[in-house]
Homo-oligomer: A and B are copies of this chain.
């Protein structure tokens, strides 16, 4: 039996959050009551391949059809599940979380967005380790790509997008450099005006092509980054 697990990230309340499912409170289930990454078995009748399975499960948990979804890696071994040797294929997804209410599927007791930093310890199975790898992958990619755009409901303002970068990176980024780099990369379309900081109007944007992740030139800023 092949399983797929999902690390679904969003930024909510100025924090990087992950969608987790609570293990059933039953003594014959491993890790009863603990939080775990959502996932489950491939449905060989419905899932053409691993990615299709990941997409289906993402839709089940979030209602979202096709946000950013990529293979993170696979984890397998004899110590991750007390029931015996197991392996899983893990995907990670970025969704605009403020709009998304998690759906608990299967036998889960509950489902919720929980801040990543508070969830690094105490997850079921080897999910602390997998979540750590997903956070590392996200942070390394965020330095040089448009990935955080997938975490915002559209339309959004540049300060909102900058704040999303800052939340993921855990540090402030230079406003002027961020603005210049982002607009130079030419992946956003203006779609009107929103209320910005201090109720001043700010230009609203959306992604021109949600299927395309933009990689910024590494030599753009003197520091090689924002």
Contact = CB atoms under 8 A, between A and B. Distances in A.
Nearest to A224: B219
A76 B1 CA distance: 12
A73 B71 contact: yes
B2 A76 contact: yes
A224 B73 CA distance: 29
Contacts of A44: 78, 84-85
B79 A48 contact: yes
A77 B89 contact: no
A91 to B, nearest CB: 10
A87 interface: yes
Contacts of A2: 76, 85, 87
Interface string A175-218: 00000000000000000000000000000000000000000001
For chain A, which range describes its interface: under 10, 10 to 19, 20 to 34, or 35 or more residues?
20 to 34
Contacts of A84: 44
Interface in A14-68: 42, 44, 47-50, 52-53
20 contacts: A2-B76, A2-B85, A2-B87, A42-B76, A44-B78, A44-B84, A47-B85, A48-B79, A49-B75, A49-B76, A49-B78, A50-B75, A50-B76, A71-B74, A73-B73, A74-B89, A76-B89, A87-B89, A218-B218, A218-B219
A222 to B, nearest CB: 10
Contacts of A79: 48-49
B74 A74 contact: yes
Given A42-B85, A50-B76, 11 more contacts: A2-B76, A42-B76, A44-B84, A49-B75, A49-B76, A49-B77, A50-B75, A50-B77, A74-B89, A76-B89, A219-B219
